Amino acid sequence: MAFRTHGEFDSMAEINITPLVDVMLVLLIIFMVTTPMLVQGLSVELPREQAAPLTHKGPEPLVLTLTKDRLVVVGETPVHPTLLPQVLPPLMRGSPRPVYLKADHALPYGFVVQVLATLNRMGVEEVGMVTVPPEKP
């Protein structure tokens, strides 16, 4: 009958974390690939109106997107409407930037006015309303 000595159990007592690290790296890659797709999937149906193209000179405009679910997206970052006064000032520092507002046509007028009032209180002087041209028959 053979007995194991204490030295034989030392190698069995270690935990192999290599599979855990592999799984975590795969999950990290999956999240890094899918996260940008979340913002690209926004569906905003812009109003159809004939308007002159927006032109600006100077700094790049900041794009605010308002979805029909009343979600405000600043650039590519979703923001709760009540947090706009905290999120926008760091983006507006320096020279004044124009703001382009892309609002879904199904939004209530009052909600769009609230966002415009917030922009006004923050000192935004140039606001452009983004539309799409009407379909031609």
Sign of CA dihedral 24, 28, 30, 35: positive
Does residue 31 form part of some domain?
yes
Residues 79, 116 within the same domain: yes
Does residue 47 form part of some domain?
no
Percent over 70 (pLDDT), the chain: 72
* Tens-level pLDDT at each residue, the chain (137 residues): 555 555 555 556 677 889 999 999 999 998 888 776 665 555 666 666 676 666 666 778 888 888 888 888 888 888 888 888 888 888 777 667 888 888 888 888 888 888 888 888 888 888 888 877 777 65
The domain that holds 122 is classified in CATH as 3.30.420.270
Are 98 and 126 a contacting pair, CB within 8 Å? Answer: yes
Side chain identity at 56, as an amino acid letter? H
Does residue 57 form part of some domain?
no
d(CA 88, CA 83): 9
pLDDT tens track for 54-84: 666 677 888 888 888 888 888 888 888 888 8
Residues 91, 122 within the same domain: yes
Does residue 117 form part of some domain?
yes
The residue segments making up the domain with residue 32 are 6-40
What's the chain's length in residues?
Answer: 137
Question: How many domains does the chain fold into?
Answer: 2
